[in-house]
């Protein structure tokens, strides 16, 4: 019997994502001037206020207020009418030195013996369902909001959009787990005030269905375009009005959108957030490493779908376990346990080895803080960072290194493919 599966996404202007982006902007600036910085930074945003808290060990000093304000303005909160804008909001910092009790288990004379920055389990997932090996419902949810942000910044076809928005896509699957059609799409977008609420709602609905969705569909592969038809149920701003939004409408906190950040409810999640953490925190680095493993395993043809789990003890260099689940999609006479053993031999999962393999000490994290950490395009960009004292540094930064298919040949050799 067919079944429905749903995933959601939130925009860069969603209050929780505003908090994530500020935290990751701080990470990038610390790493740009001191690549060995240890950082765990949390952000809270609300009406007219930003609160920064966390622990840092670094050789550099940052103007955290300016970094926060620049990030907010870049997102699009630039008007007093939003009750939250980068130029006028208050920024309070309570960032302090990292605990020595934590640091002693992480920093070692031999970097390769660096211990995990915390205990816990992390998951990576991949599926052949899309070209980027991501779950389809989440991929479409992200695409809708990324295109909506483009429309907002163009201020051409739709001129009333504000930064906060959410999307949700429900897909009908057949018994063999193949997507058959899109059942429903939900889009809630913040907007300017209208004189007439009823006219407003009708216009927004028309613009989303007739302008946004066709632009999203046009950028999809042909086989996915076929999933869109006239029978889709649309819920557009179902509350009827969405003028009050962003941090004024809802307090935002770092790390509250971990399912949006990963696989939209597919696979599994260990519970640890990513943003605001340097790569010594395995919540982040090992989650990227397991995604890297999962994507390369599916691309190599070992299976059509895979979940990879790794776990750690704080201060301990070797992972406590590696687990693999292929959901019965491996076509070879090999068990998931045997696959896990091969994964362990192919991929060094010590924290320092992960950092080196994926080049995680680069200032590469601001780009991850909206529209998902997984399924993105690996590319090299030039980034410039400036200090309050006029010092600046320009770096070539490789983004989303965990999305590279650079282990396919090694995996094929190991599995005899």
318 is in an annotated binding site: no
Tell me how many degrees the CA angle 200-205-208 measures, rounded to the nearest 5.
Answer: 120
- The CB density around residue 198, as the number of other CB atoms within 10 Å, is 9
342 is in an annotated binding site: no
CA distances from 236 to 114, 188, 218 (A): 49, 6, 20
219 is in an annotated binding site: no
79 is in an annotated binding site: no
344 is in an annotated binding site: no
166 is in an annotated binding site: yes
98 is in an annotated binding site: yes
User: Counting every residue, how long is the chain?
Assistant: 417
241 is in an annotated binding site: yes
277 is in an annotated binding site: yes
Query: Could you tell me which residues come within 8 angstroms of residue 146 by beta carbon, excluding any fewer than 6 positions away?
Result: 371
Residue closest to 190 by CA, chosen among 251, 235, 243: 243
Distance CA 160, CA 155 (A): 8
257 is in an annotated binding site: yes
Residue closest to 303 by CA, chosen among 128, 124, 178: 128
Burial class (CB in 10 A: 0-12, 13-18, 19+), 405: middle
Query: Could you tell me which residues come within 8 angstroms of residue 185 by beta carbon, excluding any fewer than 6 positions away?
Result: 144, 167, 168, 169, 170, 213, 232, 233, 234, 235
20 is in an annotated binding site: no
57 is in an annotated binding site: no
Binding residues: 14, 16, 42, 55, 98, 164-166, 241-242, 250, 256-257, 273, 277, 281
Binding residues for K(+): 42
Binding residues for L-methionine: 55, 98, 250, 281
Binding residues for ATP: 14, 164-166, 241-242, 250, 256-257, 273, 277
Binding residues for Mg(2+): 16
């Amino acid at each position: 019997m067919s079944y429905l599966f749903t995933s959601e996404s939130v925009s860069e202007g969603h209050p929780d994502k505003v908090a994530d982006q500020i935290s990751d902007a701080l990470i990038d600036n610390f790493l740009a001037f001191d690549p060995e910085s240890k950082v765990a930074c949390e952000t809270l945003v609300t009406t007219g206020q930003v609160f920064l808290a966390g622990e840092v060990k670094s050789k550099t000093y940052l103007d955290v207020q300016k970094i926060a304000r620049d990030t907010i303005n870049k997102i699009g909160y630039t008007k007093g009418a939003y009750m939250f804008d980068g130029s006028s909001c208050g920024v309070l910092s309570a960032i302090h030195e990292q605990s020595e009790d934590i640091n002693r288990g992480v920093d070692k004379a031999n970097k390769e013996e660096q211990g995990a920055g915390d205990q816990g389990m992390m998951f990576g997932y991949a599926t052949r369902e899309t070209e980027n090996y991501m779950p389809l419902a989440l991929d479409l949810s992200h695409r809708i909001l990324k295109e909506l942000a483009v429309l907002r910044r163009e201020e051409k076809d739709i001129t009333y959009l504000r930064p906060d928005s959410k999307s949700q896509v429900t897909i009908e699957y057949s018994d063999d787990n193949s997507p058959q059609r899109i059942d429903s799409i939900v889009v809630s977008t913040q907007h300017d005030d209208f004189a007439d609420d009823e006219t407003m709602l009708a216009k927004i609905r028309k613009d989303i269905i007739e302008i946004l969705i066709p632009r999203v569909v046009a950028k999809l592969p042909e086989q996915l375009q076929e999933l869109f038809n006239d029978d889709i149920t649309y819920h557009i701003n179902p509350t009827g009005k969405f003028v009050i939004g962003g941090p004024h409408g809802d307090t935002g906190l770092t790390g509250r959108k971990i399912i949006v950040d990963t696989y939209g409810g597919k696979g599994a999640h260990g519970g640890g957030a990513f943003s605001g953490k340097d790569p010594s925190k395995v919540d982040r680095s090992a989650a990227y490493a397991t995604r890297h493993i999962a994507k390369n395993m599916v691309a190599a043809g070992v299976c059509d779908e895979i979940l990879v789990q790794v776990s750690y003890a704080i201060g301990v260099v070797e992972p406590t376990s590696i687990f693999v689940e292929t959901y019965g999609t491996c076509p070879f006479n090999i068990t998931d346990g045997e696959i896990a053993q091969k994964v362990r031999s192919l991929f060094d999962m010590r924290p320092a080895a992960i950092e080196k393999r994926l080049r995680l000490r680069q200032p590469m994290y601001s780009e991850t803080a909206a529209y998902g950490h997984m399924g993105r395009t690996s590319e090299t960009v030039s980034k410039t960072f400036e200090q309050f004292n006029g010092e600046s540094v320009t770096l070539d930064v490789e983004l989303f290194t965990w999305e590279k298919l650079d282990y396919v040949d090694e995996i094929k050799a190991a599995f005899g493919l």
